[in-house]
Amino acid sequence: MLDHALESAFVVFLQTDPGFAEVHFFTGHDDEDHHMPAITVSSKSEPLAGSATVFRAEVTFLIESEAHDSKPDEHAVFVEKVRARFATKADVVAAINAGNRVHLYGYAFAGSSQDVDGARFRTTLTFKAGYGVP
Amino acid sequence: MPATDVKFGITKHEGALIDSVEVEKKIEQKALKGSNGNVARVHVFNPTNSGSVKGHGELTIVPGVGDAGVSGITGGVTVITNVKESENNEDFDGWEYQFEHYPNAEEVS
């Protein structure tokens, strides 16, 4: 459940932004149908030096828009809002750590990818993160 | 040696976020050959230890005479020969130090 704690912390952080009021949030453990627009946060962790409390994680944010209802430019604006939310690292770290579920030491943007099928635009933002649990 | 005698993980250092500990024990030797060409007399002297520790988190060790923090490295003089600290964008910060241990030496100022 370590990854789920980190995923949930990021979801709570994003949900506090009024600009995402219409967005549906999911974590890697959720298996329900994704209602658009959606952000799914999933994480994969490995321990630092065999520690049971400090971890490296690869965190992915899957950003999805309804392809029938939105144009690609609108999806790009949605993605940009997510990226901008993570632009000020100190603020993000402070907000996540205020939740007391995990302690985020830092993160770095590691890449992005995108694809589209008949129904939805999908963009994946990937971050490398270092975090600990109490 | 039976498998039950092996160790797994770091046991030589008390730190919580230690990646690796290496210790090399060395000794010098003087061998004298006899008239038939075989080594006939051997004298060993000057045992020393050297090693390195790699890890993460707060580090208080500085170069100079000090404590390597490695079990079994006691007595004599231990010199921390170099300390390297590292950071990169996608990982935790880290450090590494190397030491030389002279168990029969005395420090002089």
Predicted local distance difference test score (pLDDT) of residue A71? 81
CA–CA separation, B102 and B106 (whole Å): 8
pTM value > 0.80: yes
Kindly report the average pLDDT of chain B as a whole number: 94
CA–chain centroid gap for A130, Å, is: 14
Token pair of A23, please?
């967005």
Residue of A nearest to B20 (CA): A49
Label residue B104 by pLDDT band (50, 70, 90). very high
Which residues of chain B neighbour A48 with C-beta distances below 8 Å? 17, 56, 92
Instruction: Give the residue on B whose Cα is nearest the Cα of A132.
Output: B92
Q: What is the pLDDT at residue B31?
A: 97
- The residue among A33 and B99 whose pLDDT is bigger is B99
**HSE, side-chain direction, 13 A CA sphere, residue B99:** 27
| pLDDT of amino acid B2 | 67
Instruction: With a cut of 50, list the residues of chain A below it in pLDDT.
Output: none
Instruction: Please state the ipTM of this predicted complex.
Output: 0.82
Contact A49 B17 (CB under 8 A): yes
The CA-CA-CA angle for residues B84, B85, B89, to 5°, reads 140
Q: What is the pLDDT of residue B8?
A: 86
Mutate to test the interface with B, among A48, A55, A131 (most CBs of B within 10 A): A48
Give the whole-number percent of chain B exceeding pLDDT 90.
Answer: 84
Rounded Cα gap, residues B51 and A94, in angstroms: 39
The three-class DSSP label of residue A80 is helix
Contact yes or no for B84/B73 (Cβ under 8 A): no
Structure tokens at B35: 């008239």
Q: What is the CATH number of domain A2-132?
A: 3.30.70.1700
Q: What pLDDT score does B95 carry?
A: 97
Domain map (residue ranges) of chain B: 3-102
The HSE-up count of residue A35 (CA atoms within 13 Å, CB side) is 4
Tell me which residue of B83, B79, B26, B55 sits closest to A50, measured CA to CA.
B55
Domain ranges of chain A: 2-132
Q: How confident is the model at residue B1 (pLDDT cuts 50, 70, 90)?
A: low
What does the pLDDT read at residue B24? Answer: 98
